[in-house]
Amino acid sequence: MTEKITVAGVRVDTRHWIGGERVASTETFTDVSPIDGSAIGEIARGGPAEAGRAVAAAKAAFPAWAATSRAERARILHGIADGVETRIEELAIVETTDNGALLRSHRRGVMPRVAHNFRFFADWLLKLEHEDFETRGHTNHVSWDPAGPSVLITPWNAPLMLATWKVAPALAAGNTVILKPAEWSPLTASLLADIAAEAGLPAGVLNIVQGYGSEIGDALTSHPDVRRISFTGSVPTAKRIAASAAANLTPLSLELGGKSPLLVFADADLDLAVDLAVEQYDNAGQVCLAATRFLVEESIAEELTRRFVDKAIRLRQGDPRDEATDIGPNIHPRQLEKIDGFVQRAIEAGARAVVGGHRKDGQFYAPTLLADVAQDSEIVQEEVFGPVLTLQTFATEEEAVRLANDTRFGLAATVATGDPERAERVTARLVAGTVWVNCFFVRDLQAPFGGSRHSGVGREGGTWSFDFYCDVKNTVTAPNGWKNHG
Ligand code: NAD
């Protein structure tokens, strides 16, 4: 295999990164750009052998990294953040070439956020403490002990951002890492290996294995030396991983899909509500948190829909490297097939395309809004992961909450209302890991993040991340019993 390829002028090593060395596989797979369907390069295709080697490297590196002071770990993480900031342009163009998301978002939002992931968890580590407390004169002291090698498995829709949202806290916690990026977007993870090495992260502390989840996944998640598994991806894969992890009772954190609602009440600021609605087409609809179900109060449904369509049809689809583009291509022909399958089955079942409802030339799907959809229909119940939204109306607050909660998911919910008391009543009853009121996608890394029901298991973010990646210990010390110490 070719070991290094050039992607939009950036050199990317396509081998695994294990124990501080580049490791080739005899097999490869072809990475394809969603922008024009061209082959980007051949990527190492790992299997059980590479998985075993990566876990062994992480196990060997663990004692020294766990014993490294918090201050030194934080210093190295800030060094990685510096490296990311220096290479924002390179990371942005490689990510856009690989997954088709907008270059301008990668430049201005996503890659700075990648650096922030490292800075935030480095700083949080330094202030992580629980005040000691007393029990009948005994002192209780809580500590967060590094747990061991951690397998992190991530999806393609925001590859480096979602990977580093796990890598940063796991490394801060004193764990060593085996990262398995998605096979549709493997490149920026490889650049992260270079950046981490340059920042002085010791060999074996971060390992990156490439390949298909179906071929390398089980060897990672069933490995007895793995102490934590954090996964972001789909529900079916999560079930397979949970079954595989069960053999060793390996603790799991699962961040999964969603079918989140946007509830718009008649008392809402309609301009704001329309903006919130149109925002749901971001990243060509490939956003786990997207509010894909519009639930709109009957009395304003016509007006809201008219204004929404007016904006939606002006969105520019095209080359994601172009500053003027609003929506880039979908990731893969298979994803496009899947999206269109959902839409055509919905239309056959009686749905009406208010806008869109079809594929476009290239790897694009027309921004779509489907009305006349039944609550129990596939299009309302299942995650599409494309630019496809549904419209339903409600007559009462009660009905709005009932419809909002009536799927098997519970990742997020967005509420547009001009009445703070209504906001309080409604948000209290919504089943969701995150609820936004009159806003969307405001994310603070210290907030708990995760989903309810089939949208996930556990929470990460701030101290919740350390609770997951560490063995939390309570040490109780009696007031007496000391010998020869005065
Ligand atoms: P996916 O489940 O197909 O793949 C995710 C990762 O799992 C990939 O790296 C894949 O190689 C790996 N994998 C596949 N089979 C495996 C196995 N048997 N063992 C171990 N690993 C395996 O998901 P996807 O299509 O890449 O991502 C889209 C999904 O991710 C959507 O459902 C989306 O909602 C979800 N998502 C959730 C969040 C969140 O934070 N909740 C964020 C982004 C995406």
The CATH code of the domain that includes 328 is 3.40.309.10
Which residue is closest in CA terms to ligand 1's atom 34?
A: 257
Q: Check pLDDT > 80 for residue 226.
A: yes
Is the CB of 237 within 6 Å of ligand 1? yes
Residue 13: CATH number of its domain: 3.40.605.10
Q: Is residue 445 part of a domain?
A: no
CA 235 / ligand 1 centre spacing (Å): 8
The H or E element containing residue 342 is helix 333-348
CA 425 / ligand 1 centre spacing (Å): 34
Q: Is 188 in the same domain as 308? A: no
What does the buried/exposed string (b/e) look like for 83-103 if buried means 16 or more CB atoms within 10 Å of the residue's CB?
bbbebbebbbbbbbbbbbbbb
Which residues are the active-site residues? 255
Contact criterion met (CB below 8 Å) for 13 and 43? no
Range of the domain at 206: 4-256+451-474
Q: Is residue 482 part of a domain?
A: no
What is the Cα–Cα distance from 107 to 93, expressed in whole angstroms?
8
Q: Is 166 in the same domain as 234? A: yes
Which atom of ligand 1 lies nearest, measured to the CA of 182?
9
Is the CB of 183 within 6 Å of ligand 1? yes
Q: Is residue 479 part of a domain?
A: no
Q: Is 251 in the same domain as 271? A: no
Question: What are the pLDDT digits (tens) for 116-158?
Answer: 999 999 999 999 999 999 999 999 999 999 999 999 999 999 9
Average pLDDT, rounded, for the chain: 97
Is the CB of 213 within 6 Å of ligand 1? yes
Question: What are the pLDDT digits (tens) for 451-485?
Answer: 999 999 999 999 999 999 999 999 999 999 998 77
Q: Is 235 in the same domain as 300? A: no
Contact criterion met (CB below 8 Å) for 153 and 230? yes
- In the chain, what is the straight-line distance between the N-terminal and C-terminal CA atoms, in Å? 68
CA 457 / ligand 1 centre spacing (Å): 14
Query: What is residue 419's predicted lDDT score, i.e. its pLDDT?
Result: 98
Q: Is 467 in the same domain as 321? A: no
Q: Is residue 443 part of a domain?
A: no
Q: Is 292 in the same domain as 394? A: yes
Q: Is 21 in the same domain as 156? A: yes
Question: What are the pLDDT digits (tens) for 364-393?
Answer: 999 999 999 999 999 999 999 999 999 999
Query: What is residue 486's predicted lDDT score, i.e. its pLDDT?
Result: 59
DSSP state of 423: H
CA 108 / ligand 1 centre spacing (Å): 25
Contact criterion met (CB below 8 Å) for 391 and 297? no
Bridge partners of 264? 296, 416
Query: What is residue 483's predicted lDDT score, i.e. its pLDDT?
Result: 87
Region 413-435: mean pLDDT is 98
pLDDT class for 1, splitting at 50, 70, 90?
low
Q: Is residue 486 part of a domain?
A: no
φ, ψ for residue 479 (rounded to 5)?
-75, -20
Is the CB of 427 within 6 Å of ligand 1? no
Q: Is 152 in the same domain as 291? A: no
Q: Is 311 in the same domain as 408? A: yes
Is the CB of 385 within 6 Å of ligand 1? yes
Q: How many CB atoms lie within 10 A of CB 271?
A: 9
Q: Is 189 in the same domain as 237? A: yes
